[in-house]
Amino acid sequence: GQIGTFAINFSRPAGQVIAQYYEFLRLGREGYTKVQNASYQVAAYLADEIAKLGPYEFICTGRPDEGIPAVCFKLKDGEDPGYTLYDLSERLRLRGWQVPAFTLGGEATDIVVMRIMCRRGFEMDFAELLLEDYKASLKYLSDHPKLQGIAQQN
């Protein structure tokens, strides 16, 4: 069929949009800017600390000039720390965190990245907890290296 209009169709309730509009009116531009800047500070802190923990190349370090308050990284080319980002993501999931590892699209389907979104409410105390669990996950992966299959031993 044909669509008579080119409009965005939302099939979800509008409650979140209304709540966000209310927050914007209540906080004003200055208050909303403070909220966003706090998210950027947490993301930049996480990127700085995670950079110390492994052979990572950062795609986004959560700084305002890079876009959104998110941390996105991949393993440096040629580095093998003994785990994959999928392994690390799974260990973090077992500790209650949702930090996805996934491949990029298009021409970059061979690149695996991890992404941490720092939204409102994810403050420095949560970042510290995430880093503790991140370090514990790295320790586990270091203490329990992957076993080679028989076919891979040649």
Q: What is the CATH number of the domain that holds 123?
A: 3.90.1150.160
Radius of gyration of the chain (CA): 20
Tell me: the pLDDT tens digits for 78-133?
999 999 999 999 999 999 999 999 999 899 999 999 999 999 899 999 999 999 99
Tell me: the pLDDT tens digits for 21-38?
888 899 999 998 999 999
CA 51 to chain centre: 14
Range of the domain at 110: 15-144
pTM for this model (two decimals)? 0.81
Cα–Cα distance for residue pair 113/75, rounded to 1 Å? 8
Helices 15-51 + 124-143 axis angle, to 10: 50
Domain membership of residue 137 (yes or no) is yes
Tell me: the pLDDT tens digits for 37-58?
999 999 999 999 999 999 999 9
Domain membership of residue 1 (yes or no) is no
Domain membership of residue 154 (yes or no) is no
Q: What is the DSSP letter of 90?
A: H
Domain membership of residue 96 (yes or no) is yes
Domain membership of residue 117 (yes or no) is yes
Closest CA to 45 of 116, 93, 140: 116
SS3 state of residue 139: helix
Domains identified in the chain, total number:
1
Domain membership of residue 8 (yes or no) is no
